Amino acid sequence: MDIIDDLKYRGLINQVSDEEALREVLKKPTTFYCGFDPTANSLHAGNLLVIVIMMRLQRAGHHPIALVGGGTGMIGDPSGRSTERQLNTKEVVASYADSLKKQLDHFLHFNEGNATFANNAEWLNKLSTIEFLRDVGKYFTLNYMLSKDSVQTRLESGISFTEFSYMLLQSFDYLNLYEKKGCRMQIGGSDQWGNITAGLELIRKRGHEEQAFAMTFPLITKSDGTKFGKSMGGAIWLDPERTTPYEWYQFWINASDDDVVNFLKYFTFLTKDEIEALAKEVAEHPEERKAQKALAREMTILVHGEESLKQAEHISQALFSGNVAQLSGAEIKQGFKDVPTYQAPRNEPVKLLDLLVEAGVTSSKRQAREDITNGAIYVNGVRRTDLQDVLTEEDRINNTYIIIRRGKKKYTLIQF
């Protein structure tokens, strides 16, 4: 199937400006772009959908331009928001833009000839107010701008002229890339339709005959209605320092049966036959969670690589079996990132009974005695029932960690 049909099978096309004409254009290598506003020093799971779509188009022979909004990031996109964004300084935006470039390069490989990185600060920071009003603003009526959803939804709560003008700046981006890079298509989330089609309007009104196109994909939500890309701890980041590979793996492997097949279509490069075979497994043997394992495996390799996948699987298996002593120090740091941690004040042997109270594992020595006697306390996965037990250097993993488990799931990390 061609790229349009593949995207449709995967449920990735929400709107397209002229599908018949676009199909013809995409029969030859075509330059397209997508924008990323630098609002943080890392992209997140929600951004991954458009990155994967760019990769699909790239693999089909087309030329992606990843545009980071070093200029528009100073303004703030009103799309999908009920309040004004807090403006960051020029230095902060520039540092975020640099971080995003490195992350995008991991997927698109800018130095290999078939992908380009751009930062709209290069042209927007040079654009004077008079030039902007004459060369861009005069082509848009107030009525046209007010009709856009991104503006309509903000009229009651209020929208500043700063964010109101964002649409025009994004339109100028498209015009600039069309004229200088031969860019024929812009893609983005469905909330970007108004901004993207405004770019088409500007290109047309500036007298360009070669048609430009707009394509959007649906904004992803989970089957329970909650926002995709969030967990109890907040956003799921691509940066391994903010979301460890183990946490990333766990996010995908915990996908519900109602979501997993769609996620396989959206995010992986598995074929239609492979996805339908996994869908059959979900229907007939949901307890085996083969689809979730495949999803977690594919997504961890894509973002973090084979070695990180092996670590994530090793951590998961150790935690499931309780055999945590087999973990390395680096794996413990990942797998127990959000577990209560106690920094031991001394580097010497300590009675287990005392440590349970000091580390907050139990509320009192009386409770600690009961838990030890009843077999509820595990040290590095091994049950300890001796009230006189003393923990020494030999009990430390990587000479740094002792993992205490109370009951089935309550872990505390002791760090020396």
Q: Is 230 annotated as a binding residue?
A: yes
Secondary-structure breakdown of the chain: helix, strand, coil percentages, each rounded to the nearest 5? 50, 15, 35
Write down the number of H helices and E strands in the chain.
19, 15
Q: How far is the C-alpha of 198 from the C-alpha of 287, rounded, in Å? A: 48
Instruction: Name the pTM for this structure.
Output: 0.89
CATH of the domain at 383: 3.10.290.10
Task: Identify residue 413 by its one-letter amino acid code.
Answer: L
Residue 332 lies in a domain: no
In the chain, the percentage of residues whose pLDDT exceeds 70 is 98
The parent domain of residue 7 ranges over 3-217
Q: Is 144 annotated as a binding residue?
A: no
pLDDT of amino acid 353: 93
pLDDT for 113 beyond 90: no
Structure tokens at 330: 């680096």
Number of domains in the chain: 3
DSSP 8-state code for residue 218: P
Residue 222 lies in a domain: no
Tens-digit pLDDT profile for residues 365-375: 999 999 999 99
Structure tokens at 188: 């983005």
pLDDT for 249 beyond 90: yes
Tens-digit pLDDT profile for residues 189-198: 998 999 999 9
pLDDT of amino acid 88: 87
Structure tokens at 98: 């640099």
Tens-digit pLDDT profile for residues 387-396: 999 999 899 9
13 and 157 housed in the same domain = yes
24 and 64 housed in the same domain = yes
Q: How far is the C-alpha of 403 from the C-alpha of 286, rounded, in Å? A: 32
Contact 13, 43 (CB under 8 A): no
pLDDT of amino acid 112: 85
102 and 19 housed in the same domain = yes
Average pLDDT across the chain, whole number: 92
303 and 235 housed in the same domain = yes
Q: How far is the C-alpha of 53 from the C-alpha of 179, rounded, in Å? A: 24
Left if phi > 0, otherwise alpha if psi is -120 to 50, otherwise beta: which for 239? beta
Residue 334 lies in a domain: no
Residue 310 lies in a domain: yes
Task: Say which residue, 337 or 238, is predicted with more confidence.
Answer: 238
pLDDT for 172 beyond 90: yes
153 and 249 housed in the same domain = no
35 and 169 housed in the same domain = yes
Domain boundary, last residue among 162, 183, 217 = 217
Q: Which residues contact 179 (CB under 8 A, 6 or more apart)?
A: 208
Tens-digit pLDDT profile for residues 17-54: 999 999 999 999 999 999 999 999 999 999 999 999 99
Closest CA to 415 of 351, 352, 336: 336
Q: Is 170 annotated as a binding residue?
A: yes
Q: How far is the C-alpha of 347 from the C-alpha of 361, rounded, in Å? A: 19
What is the residue whose two structure tokens read 């848009």?
A: 140
243 and 201 housed in the same domain = no
pLDDT of amino acid 81: 64
Tens-digit pLDDT profile for residues 337-351: 889 999 988 778 899
pLDDT of amino acid 262: 96
Residue 404 lies in a domain: yes
CATH of the domain at 212: 3.40.50.620
208 and 234 housed in the same domain = no
Domain boundary, last residue among 286, 321, 356 = 321
209 and 243 housed in the same domain = no
Tens-digit pLDDT profile for residues 133-166: 999 999 998 888 888 777 877 777 778 888 888 8
35 and 107 housed in the same domain = yes
CA geometry: angle at 314 spanning 311 and 319, to 5°?
125
Closest CA to 113 of 68, 63, 67, 66: 63
CATH of the domain at 284: 1.10.240.10
Closest CA to 78 of 158, 179, 24: 158
Residue 24 lies in a domain: yes
Q: Is 166 annotated as a binding residue?
A: yes
Rg over CA atoms, the chain: 26
Residue 336 lies in a domain: no
pLDDT for 231 beyond 70: no
Q: How far is the C-alpha of 323 from the C-alpha of 315, rounded, in Å? A: 10
Domain boundary, last residue among 170, 188, 217 = 217
Structure tokens at 249: 């793996």
Residue 328 lies in a domain: no
Where residue 63 falls among pLDDT bands split at 50, 70, 90?
Answer: very high
Pairing of strands 401-406, 390-391: unpaired
CA geometry: angle at 14 spanning 20 and 272, to 5°?
85
Where residue 82 falls among pLDDT bands split at 50, 70, 90?
Answer: low
213 and 240 housed in the same domain = no
Task: Identify residue 229 by its one-letter amino acid code.
Answer: G
* β-sheet bridge partners, residue 36: 68
pLDDT of amino acid 315: 94
398 and 308 housed in the same domain = no
Where residue 268 falls among pLDDT bands split at 50, 70, 90?
Answer: very high
Question: Which stretch of 98-102, 218-222, 233-237, 281-285 has the lowest confidence by average pLDDT?
Answer: 233-237
pLDDT for 232 beyond 90: no
